[in-house]
Structure 1
């Protein structure tokens, strides 16, 4: 009998562990303890386009709280199925180990293990079971920092007959039928890593992007990017590959870890995987993307196709020669050349006009000087006359000397020369007459 009870309890505990396994959304596959594959996508894009491999997760929490001893909590509630349908808080316990019992009647009668957050066993122990303990108990596990919430329900029935005592699964929850005055343990087991103590540095939160080429195993995939919540980014591979594949800098604040691949080419196709790790929260998920690159998209030519010469009904018609007048525009250099000729002509005319103006002014100036000299002739002295005659003589001699080509000509000129005027000094003559 005791062995049968142990087996039943073991089966019930196993049933409670099954819902906890499905807590990480719907799982598509898991191999040898690796990260859980939560989704698989098939993506096809044309060559030269841009592909966005969308990887979202709202379960990644990027805010930190210094009071992490109050972030993890478990509380037991009792829902009575009587006429009043009341909900009663029975007990709660924080990760620091503090327990709080809400009803004084349950003190020293209801308890939990002090090491619940270390071993993951949050089962509720009820001593001296009474008829008032009947109802549906819910074990509520909360991790506020990691945004994790889980509820496990157990129905407790009390009987006075030992033969009716039993435990079974009704399809939704475990049902315990216990004897009045006995002790019962309502199971609530969750041994996920999220309930273990760990450090809370930002390096605990990281996303990885890997790429598997065709024929390459998952454990030998090439690492593309490592991005940490602290802002640290590591990119691998050649430079051109790092430039065309990237993640947004706001990935952790938005929860969007999508990979953007620009200028898709045939070598870019393969299997891409997005790994989300939150070591402190125990999160280890993987999303797989099968990317294939198709032919490039060509523009849509809506115009009707041209008719081939053999299909044209007017192929044998003789065409009349057509005269096409082609007007070629003048070169810019020719225009500049013509403009240069015009400017040179205008400049030459301006120079000629300036020369004429200066020459006319000079002639006017000479005529004015001649008139002034003529008006002053009446006041000329004998000395001036004498000097004028001397100058005239010298000028005549110079002019005559210019014709001297030989002695014969010189003699001929001297014979033809008029006698030179005699210069008479009137003052001397007057003095001579006075002395006589």
Structure 2
């Protein structure tokens, strides 16, 4: 029961990888249907020459003299242990034998001999050991077509039959196999690119189509067919074939641009460049929307005048002329003036804010000063009591009177003098008698 389940899972994984390979081929434009890789709008004046550029280095024709070295597949092993080493397991060319790089793997590791015919490059490992653990990568190269693909499979080894299983971790297939068993690491690519071509020069072709306004793509007119063998086919009237052409060195330079001379309004439309390399699985299409504008106005500038020494009217005096030129205000000038106005308003706003802040600060200081004065006014009257005599003296000192005569002035001065000391004669006499 467990073995049947494992086989079902293996088939599901193989079908999944085949579907992924097919989708990748469709996305990369390697199916029979052309894939649009560029779309351009081109406008040129009538009577000029238009060049619709269409370049592709993958279409450059080079004779495949080393066919056995152009298509190759090799398996590599990356060990995730303490060594973290990478080693080549084996490789195989389209017209050669397999090469096994480690003597320990001879007779134990192999790949189907019909791999390049049926597209099955799976790796077979017999008598699996613990040293076989790691990540295996199947690398498919087609140097002539510049195609490179890599498929990874992780191999884990266990000693318990219960742990044996196969699953997808989101990036690669993971195989957990039992020690001593045989495992097949899948690597399938049945794309036609890995099949042998009979006559490669017939596999490469470039053709240009023209689609008039209102005409669908499938009803476009064929202009030119150009094959890598040198064969050229042009369609349409003679005048059309003379004004539209491709360089004879297109396949040697990779330049398949269409040159249209003496452009006219009747030449407007949609032009498409189709590049096909059936052997390499290349099918691309580039679209150009061509519009024709009015013809260029010939230069009507006056011919250069005579030199001063050759002009007979050199000695004539010309009357100065004043020409008033009114230049319209440019949009940038208006924006510049608007910037000045906004900067001035911003400066005035800053000044107003500064004045308001300073006035508030002064008001705050005045309020604090009034509070201090009110605190001083609460002092009791006892603190300012003064003697009557002191008050009287102060009042007398500060008094400024205007006396009417000298008698009043003398009385006032006498009042300022200290009062005469009163002497008791009887007591003085008694003091002397006792002495």
TM-score range, shorter chain: 0.5 to 0.7
User: Are the counterparts in 2 of residues 265 and 293 from structure 1 also a CA contact under 8 Å?
Assistant: no
User: Are the counterparts in 2 of residues 199 and 280 from structure 1 also a CA contact under 8 Å?
Assistant: no
Which residue is equivalent to 1:15? 17
Aligned positions of 1:188-207 closer than 5 A: 188-207=187-206
**Deviation string, structure 1 residues 3-50 (Cα, Å, up to 9, x no partner):** 5642553345423652565368755xx9xx633304140313134244
Inter-CA distance 216–202: structure 2 relative to 1 (3 Å threshold): same
Deviation for aligned residue 1:112: 1.0
User: Are the counterparts in 1 of residues 6 and 165 from structure 2 also a CA contact under 8 Å?
Assistant: no
Aligned positions of 1:8-407 closer than 5 A: 9-15=11-17, 17-19=19-21, 21-22=23-24, 26-27=28-29, 34-48=32-46, 49-283=48-282, 285-296=283-294
Inter-CA distance 267–26: structure 2 relative to 1 (3 Å threshold): farther
Inter-CA distance 298–225: structure 2 relative to 1 (3 Å threshold): closer
Counterparts of 2:12 and 2:56, CA distance in 1: 35
**Deviation string, structure 1 residues 120-176 (Cα, Å, up to 9, x no partner):** 111111122111111111111122333322222222222233333333333332222
Counterparts of 1:73 and 1:275, CA distance in 2: 29
User: Are the counterparts in 2 of residues 137 and 155 from structure 1 also a CA contact under 8 Å?
Assistant: yes
Residues 123-132 or 58-67, more deviating: 58-67
Q: Give unpaired runs (5+ residues) of structure 2.
A: 302-435
Inter-CA distance 157–13: structure 2 relative to 1 (3 Å threshold): farther
Residues 126-135 or 218-227, more deviating: 218-227
Q: Give unpaired runs (5+ residues) of structure 1.
A: 304-436
Inter-CA distance 108–279: structure 2 relative to 1 (3 Å threshold): same
User: Are the counterparts in 1 of residues 137 and 150 from structure 2 also a CA contact under 8 Å?
Assistant: yes
User: Are the counterparts in 2 of residues 110 and 127 from structure 1 also a CA contact under 8 Å?
Assistant: yes
Indicate the structure (1 or 2) with the bigger Cα radius of gyration: 1
User: Are the counterparts in 1 of residues 45 and 296 from structure 2 also a CA contact under 8 Å?
Assistant: no
Inter-CA distance 167–267: structure 2 relative to 1 (3 Å threshold): farther
Root mean square deviation, CA, Å: 3.0
**TM-score w.r.t. structure 2 length?**
0.61
Counterparts of 1:170 and 1:53, CA distance in 2: 48
**Deviation string, structure 1 residues 172-206 (Cα, Å, up to 9, x no partner):** 32222222222221111111111111224423322
Q: Secondary structure at the match of 1:46?
A: strand
Inter-CA distance 22–56: structure 2 relative to 1 (3 Å threshold): farther
Inter-CA distance 82–23: structure 2 relative to 1 (3 Å threshold): farther
Counterparts of 1:52 and 1:158, CA distance in 2: 62
Q: How many residues align?
A: 299
Q: Secondary structure at the match of 1:59?
A: helix
**Deviation string, structure 1 residues 303-356 (Cα, Å, up to 9, x no partner):** 9xxxxxxxxxxxxxxxxxxxxxxxxxxxxxxxxxxxxxxxxxxxxxxxxxxxxx
Deviation for aligned residue 1:252: 1.1
Runs of 4+ in 1 over 4 A off after TM superposition: 23-27, 297-301
**TM-score w.r.t. structure 1 length?**
0.61
User: Are the counterparts in 2 of residues 26 and 38 from structure 1 also a CA contact under 8 Å?
Assistant: no
